[in-house]
Structure 1
Amino acid sequence: MNAERSPIVIAARRTPIGTRGRALAGLRVEQLAAPVLRAVLDDAATAAGAPADVADVLLGNCMGPGGNPARVAALAAGLDAAIPGGTVDRQCGSGLAAILDAAAGIRAGDGRARLAGGVESASTAPVRSVDGVAYDRAPFAPEGFPDPDMVRAAEDLATHDGIPRSRLDAHAARSHARAREALAAGRFADELVPLAGLDRDDAIGAADRLLPRLPALFPGGALTAGTATRIGDGAAAVLVAPAGAAPGLAVRAGAIVGCDPALPGIGAAPAILSALAAAGVERHQVAAFELVEAFASQSIAVLERIGVAEDDPRVCADGGALALGHPWGASGAVAVVRLFSRLVRGGAPAGTIGVAAASVGGGLGVAAVLEVVR
């Protein structure tokens, strides 16, 4: 589908990302999401010249309390009770998948807008148990399949691809340096909805200067706490509207794919290649990539598989999740908000292409190709 006929993101906001247990720890998922939904609606009304006719609210969430957080957040945001809500769980790709679902609803013929994004309060995520025995997470795969913890999977991927610690450290340091520069230049300011006294992502610069001294997480391994993201609390949302509603980012194409559950970190690569093919876009035509940098090994492995250098200035130009933090179900939506700031707020000309993508536990990849429309 070409940009002129594609659903379009006309407003995009997020909370600052607060490290788990810190500034945003006292806020439930709906308290994180509701102010962002309101800010997006206000921005969209300004952009379009009239309030949006909202058909649904779709939010990604991984580890929350249940009870359909998207519906709870919609009511908490003051939306009309007639507007439903749906919660999407594709783990770390949930927020991006929710945006693709919103675009699909418009393509299917319902010309009303959708609020979409993701929210996660890792700090208030409930403890789950079976027969009174608590566990950290649900299985990503059934018995008989590999089901590594994501930290173990990231180490295994570094081993599989032969990525040394020096490259992991350099990748994380670069993410923090770019984020510090963007923070100092005010490039996050217009996308943020401050909450609980927090007006910036609190993980920026927290670990990069310590990188050479951090111990390996596994004996003889390459991964450290500095080359793994900090788990965070936060929310991000966009308004997806029919084509022509206002300037923004047209959702040209999306892809959700599976991959080997033993190496879930590579999932974003086939998703990106599939989405680019569906959009008829070549890799060199992409001006901005936003990958969910859950681990440095994951980011490097994905970039190698799509033929993009790990230090390419197009990739997470203002830092990624290694610097900003990783609020699980919100992170894919954070990637779209970042593209909106880099390209739409940043004044990129019509036709400029951006890609958002995430690798997902259990062996999934989610990606979207978006194009600036003026």
Structure 2
Amino acid sequence: MASDRHPVIIAARRTPIGTRGRALAELDVAALAAPVIRATLADAEAALGRRVTVADVLLGNCMGPGGNPGRVAALASGLGPLVPGGTVDRQCGSGLAAILDAAAATRGDERMRIAGGVESASTAPVRSRGGVPYAKAPFAPDGFPDPDMTRAAEDLAAEDDIPRSRQDAHAARSHARARTARDAGRFDAELVPFAELDHDDAIGTAERLLPRLAPLFPGGSLTAGTSTRIGDGAAAVLVSPGGTGPGLAVRACAIVGCDPALPGIGAAPAVRAALTSAGATVADVTAFEIVEAFAAQSLAVLDRLGIAEDDPRVCADGGALALGHPWGASGAVAVVRLFSRLVRRGAVPGTLGVAAASVGGGLGVAAVLEVVR
């Protein structure tokens, strides 16, 4: 059981995820994050019945404008100039890593923090080196493999012999689960609707086309339908020192490295390490939220963890294949989803959830979260 020494997430919100270049394309990182910060703080104050003083705001972001988006968003949210802000870059694991950093900070300074992630892929600046534009910064130095993530997912599918039929089925399942959850209103309490968009706009978009889509690489198995849609969005949680509830106690976490040639597997060793630290096993977990960047990558992680690909515990309301993937925010979206699935839906104390992400360059980030009441 969680003890008072474990930090507790007591509020969690996110934006709808908008496909890059569409409804949220005109909003920068501060415009996306500030309303979510305000909503998260309001939820926490309502739950506690008092005003909350925020010690810091930490946001994951990987492709934004620089200038410390965490600080810019903190100011834009109206928290005031005395609340600092920071930005974490662990690529697709940034939002989850920021939450874990905030949780760790409460152990030495028992004030509450807001943490999460934000990405505006639509407004991400074009970078250049020597006047030559480039789309992707290196994930590894010279002498190390550094594949594009799509190429890496194709290589992983070949390495693990994951056929297209499994990938198509996995993507279709993610869309079907997300559509059912959306229609049942299971996202409503976690969303901060925008005038431009009040729902995740990628749900169902590729589902019927899956069998007809051409491979992305000659002779390959990945398609646009088994790859997530890059999105714009933000997610945030409020992290309190231990002893506060109801919420999710941060019982254990892990950040690990893996082969940069196959970065998609990183979530698997991270989950194993976090569970070992928590004294738990895969069988003890009620809910998993593992960022689905690609169907092949997601399946490779599940295979390594010994989890069936259709296990209802994994992304029960659909994952990033259906909802979209706002890079630096996706790890935080996973935590918001666990908060809804476990805390908002009344799971009993002691119930365990796991959030995890694989990361470009060969990293994995995972957290074991426990329901407290």
Same fold (TM over 0.5): yes
SS of the aligned residue for 2:232 comes to strand
Residue deviations 1:237-287 (CA, integer Å, cap 9, x gap): 000001122210000011100000000000000000000011111110100
Q: How many angstroms does 1:2 deviate by?
A: 3.5
Q: How does 1:22-33 map to 2 (within 5 A)?
A: 22-33=22-33
Q: Aligned-pair RMSD on alpha carbons? A: 0.8
Contact 2:153 2:297 in 1 (8 A): yes
**Alignment-derived partner of residue 88 in structure 1:** 88
Q: CA deviation at 1:3?
A: 3.9
> Partner amino acid for 2:14?
R
Match of 1:167 in 2: 166
**In 1: Cα distance, 2:163 partner to 2:194 partner:** 39
Three-state SS of the structure 2 residue aligned to 1:58 is: strand
User: Does structure 2 retain, via aligned residues, the 8 Å contact 1:41–1:51?
Assistant: no
2:77 aligned partner: 77
Q: Report if aligned partners of 2:202, 2:324 keep a CA contact under 8 Å in 1.
A: yes
Gaps of 5+ in 1: none
2:143 match: 144
Shift of 1:5: 2.4
Q: Is the 8 A contact 1:229 1:294 kept in 2?
A: yes
Give, in whole Å, the separation in 2 of the partners of 1:197 and 1:74.
Answer: 22
CA distance in 1, matches of 2:100, 2:112: 13
Aligned to 2:11: 11
Residue 367 of structure 2 is matched in structure 1 by 368
Find the aligned partners of 1:292 and 1:135 in 2 and give their Cα distance.
26
Deviations 1:82-110 (A, max 9, x none): 11000000000000000000010012x21
Aligned counterparts of 2:52 and 2:155: Cα–Cα separation in 1: 46
Q: What is the correspondence of 1:119-268 to structure 2 with a 5 Å cutoff?
A: 119-268=118-267
- Partner Cα distance (1:84, 1:11) in 2: 20
On the 8 A contact 2:267/2:357 being kept in 1, the answer is yes
Structure 2: how far apart are the matches of 1:202 and 1:196? 14
Q: Say yes or no: does 1:278 pair with 2:263.
A: no
Aligned to 2:102: 102
- 1:64-95 per-residue CA deviation (whole Å, 9 max, x = no partner) reads 00000000000000002111000000000000
TM-score normalized with structure 2 length:
0.99
Q: For the Cα contact (< 8 Å) 1:3–1:373, is it kept in 2?
A: no
Distance (Å, rounded) in 1 between the aligned partners of 2:244 and 2:296: 40
Q: Aligned partners of 1:296 and 1:325: how far apart in 2?
A: 13
Q: Report the AA paired with residue 41 of structure 1.
A: L
1:53 deviation in Å? 1.9
Deviations 1:147-204 (A, max 9, x none): 0000000000000000000000000000000000000100000000011331110000
Check whether the contact 1:23–1:196 (CA below 8 A) recurs between aligned residues: no
* Cα contact 2:3–2:243 (8 A) shared by 1: no
**Could you say if the C-alpha distance between residues 206 and 138 of structure 1 is closer, same or farther in structure 2, counting changes exceeding 3 Å?**
same
Partners of 1:3 and 1:302 in 2: how far apart? 30
Instruction: Name the CA distance, whole Å, in 2 between partners of 1:83 and 1:277.
Output: 36
CA–CA distance in structure 1, aligned partners of residues 46 and 278 of structure 2: 29
2:46 is the counterpart of 1:46: yes
TM-score between both structures, scaled by the size of structure 1: 0.99
What are the Cα deviations for residues 177-235 of structure 1, in whole angstroms up to 9, with x where unaligned? 00000001000000000113311100000001100000000011000000000000000
State the distance in 2 between where 1:282 and 1:48 align. Answer: 33
1:3–1:251 contact (8 Å) kept in structure 2: no
SS at match of 2:4: helix
Aligned partner of 1:345 in structure 2 is 344
Q: Distance in 1 between matches of 2:195 and 2:88?
A: 26
Gaps of 5+ in 2: none
Secondary structure of 1:251's aligned partner: strand
- Code of the residue aligned with 2:203 in structure 1: it is I
Aligned-pair CA distance for 1:44:
0.2
Give per-residue Cα distances to partners, 1:16-47, cap 9 Å, x unaligned: 00000000000010000000000000000011
Work out the CA distance in 2 between the residues paired with 1:196 and 1:67: 27
Identity over aligned pairs, percent: 78
- 1:299 matched residue in structure 2: 298
Write out the 4+ residue segments of structure 1 that deviate beyond 6 Å after TM superposition.
none
